[in-house]
Amino acid sequence: MIKQSLQITEELRYYREGFRSCNVYVLTCFDFEVLFDPSLSPDSVEQKRPISKLIATHAHYDHIAMINEWKKEYPDVPFLMHGGDIEMLDNSTLNASIFFGRPNSYVKPDLVLNDGDNIELDGRYFLNVLNTPGHTMGSSCFVIYRRDDTESIPVAMISGDTLFDRGWGRTDFATGDDSLMRDSLSRLFRILSRMPDDLPVCPGHSALTNAADACRFLAAMGYSN
């Protein structure tokens, strides 16, 4: 059954997944859509246009729980993820599925992402990949840009479990690293401080925030250096 979505911008909406409490984001481009963190099954997501890419912010179970189902139904749709988390996919302890009582392994990505990659979506939209290790080694954020004439306008940041509304992802899971998380949060402060104040920051769980509020929080926590 298709779940109800919540609109963020004219091109970006999200679904709140129930069992794992994961936010699933869908970006609508001109001819197709891009889905971030496939925690919902294909029959739960309204497809206004065909899905062209499946992207994971990291390889924990709650964010990729339904990737096998998506790939089974749409084998030609590529799955994209940072290479730092590939080892987690076939290890139920590393991907944390065992802790949810559903140990499983998951398909490998069709395209391995790296920090700094720009992923062209169509003539109007592209993604900038930010590897932000700390929660996991391959944890990544994605800044969505829209081209208007010769200008690239930031639309939103998908922040996964690196940055929440007034919080950040835990570092005590396998492959987590507190020192790297501190570096990643400082980097996000520097990036977000150059973004429009009202830029949506879209985390993997719970409420959305924006660039200004995220920067105020990060500065208060000592991550403004």
Domain at 134, CATH number: 3.60.15.10
225 in a domain, yes or no?
no
> Per-residue confidence at 149, pLDDT binned at 50, 70, 90?
confident
Domain that holds residue 182: 6-220
1 in a domain, yes or no?
no
Average pLDDT over residues 148-156: 94
Q: What percent of the chain has pLDDT over 90?
A: 94
Average pLDDT over residues 64-80: 98
Average pLDDT over residues 1-16: 96
Q: Are 203 and 141 in contact (CB under 8 A)?
A: no
Domain count, the chain: 1
> Per-residue confidence at 17, pLDDT binned at 50, 70, 90?
confident
For the four alpha carbons of 165, 146, 151 and 119, in that order, the dihedral sign comes to positive
By the 10 Å C-beta count (0-12 exposed, 13-18 middle, 19+ buried), 223 is classed as buried
Long-range contact set of residues 89-92: C-beta below 8 Å, sequence gap at least 24: 89/59, 89/64
What the block records as the tokens of 26 is 């869908």
12 in a domain, yes or no?
yes
Conformation bin of residue 176: beta by default, left when phi > 0, alpha when psi is -120 to 50: beta
> Per-residue confidence at 183, pLDDT binned at 50, 70, 90?
very high
Model confidence at 96: pLDDT above 80? yes
Model confidence at 11: pLDDT above 80? yes
Residue 171: per-residue pLDDT: 97
Average pLDDT over residues 145-169: 96
Model confidence at 113: pLDDT above 80? yes
Distances from the Cα of 29 to the Cα of 80, 144, 176, angstroms: 17, 11, 34
Q: What is the DSSP secondary structure assignment for residue 186, as one 8-state letter?
A: H
212 φ, ψ (degrees, to nearest 5): -65, -45
Q: What percent of the chain has pLDDT over 70?
A: 100
> Per-residue confidence at 18, pLDDT binned at 50, 70, 90?
confident
CA–CA separation, 57 and 55 (whole Å): 7
Q: How far is CA 50 from the centre of its chain?
A: 19
> Per-residue confidence at 1, pLDDT binned at 50, 70, 90?
confident
Average pLDDT over residues 81-110: 96
97 in a domain, yes or no?
yes
In this structure, the chain runs to a length of 225
End-to-end Cα separation, the chain, in angstroms:
46
